[in-house]
Amino acid sequence: MLNPFDFIFTTISLVIAITIHEFSHAWTADRLGDPTPQLQGRLTLNPLAHLDPLGTIMLFLVHFGWGKPVQFDPYNLRNPRRDAAFISIAGPIANIILAVIAAVVVRAIPLIDTTFSIWVGFLQTLVVINVVLAIFNLIPIHPLDGFKIVGGFLSPQQAHDWYQLERYGMIFLLFLLFPLFGPRAPINYILSPILNTILSVLLPRTPLI
C-alpha cells in the first residue's frame, strides 16, 4: 500500500467487489420472491447503497471489514432455509465470476495492445480481491455466507442444531482473525493454500498471497 497505484487499485477493487457481492444477494432474494431488498434500495449497482462506512474504514485500518448486509424476509421465500442458502451463495459466486472475467482480460491485454499494460495491475488486484472475498465468505461461521449455505442443505434436525452455533459466530471469527498464538492469524493458515491454488490458475506467474 506504499505505492499510490496499489492504494488506488485496491480501493477501487474493494468497492467493486463489495458492490457486486451485496447486489448479487439482493438480486437473488428478489428473484426468489422477497421484495425486501428492492424496498430497501439494494437492487442497484450504486456502491453507496452497499458500502458500510465503518466496515469500509476498518478494511483499511485492520484489513478486515464488511459491506452493508442485505436483509431478506424468510417468510417471503418458498423454502426459507434452502432459499437463504441460495441467496447467501450468490455473493461469492458473483465474485468468482468477476475474478474469472478479469483474469481472462489480463491474459488478453498483451495480445491486443501493450499500451494497455497499466490496466494489468488493476485487473490483477481485482482478481485477488474478488477471490479473497469469495473464499473468506464461504467459511461456515456466522455471520459469513458459508454459515447459511451449510444450514440450507442440512436435515431439519441437523439445521436446528447447526443454527444453535450462530450465537458463538463472532467468537469463532475473532479467534480466526487475530494472531493469538503466533505471527499470523489462524485464518491465514486455513485460507492461504486455497487462495494460492486458485490464484495460480487465474494469474500464473503472478506473486501469490
pLDDT at 182: 75
Instruction: Label residue 62 by pLDDT band (50, 70, 90).
Output: low
Per-residue pLDDT of 105-131, as tens digits, reads: 988 876 666 566 678 889 999 999 999
Per-residue pLDDT of 139-189, as tens digits, reads: 999 999 999 999 999 999 999 999 999 999 999 998 888 887 778 888 988
Is 209 within a domain? Answer: no
List active site positions. Answer: 22
Is 120 within a domain? Answer: yes
Mean pLDDT, residues 30-50? 96
- Whether the CA torsion 150, 155, 159, 161 is positive or negative: it is negative
Is 24 within a domain? Answer: yes
Q: Which domain holds residue 85?
A: 4-202
- Which residue shows C-alpha cell 501469490? 208
Domain count, the chain: 1
Q: Is the peptide bond before 80 cis (omega within 30 degrees of 0)?
A: no
pTM for this one? 0.90
Instruction: Label residue 206 by pLDDT band (50, 70, 90).
Output: low
